[in-house]
Amino acid sequence: MKTNQIVIVAVVIITGVFFGILSMFRLPQSMMEWIISDAILGIILFLSYLMITLIRGSSMKELYPSKKTTV
């Protein structure tokens, strides 16, 4: 699988788990609670994106392999 596919699958799973946990306790009732929960979810997704790309490597390496030139 490509890195972007892994990131998309991870985002869907993490989002589902996050909202599942929210619904187990109680869903946010006010607008401020929704903003805070969305900010927390955004931070979690960003950190997971960084972790996946660090583990799998940058996708730019696959697109532009380094060419060694000898003189």
Q: What is the pLDDT of residues 9-67, one digit of tens each?
A: 888 888 888 888 877 777 778 888 888 888 888 888 888 888 877 877 655 555 555 66
Q: Which of 32, 33, 6, 11 is nearest to 22 (CA)?
A: 33
pTM exceeds cut of 0.75:
no
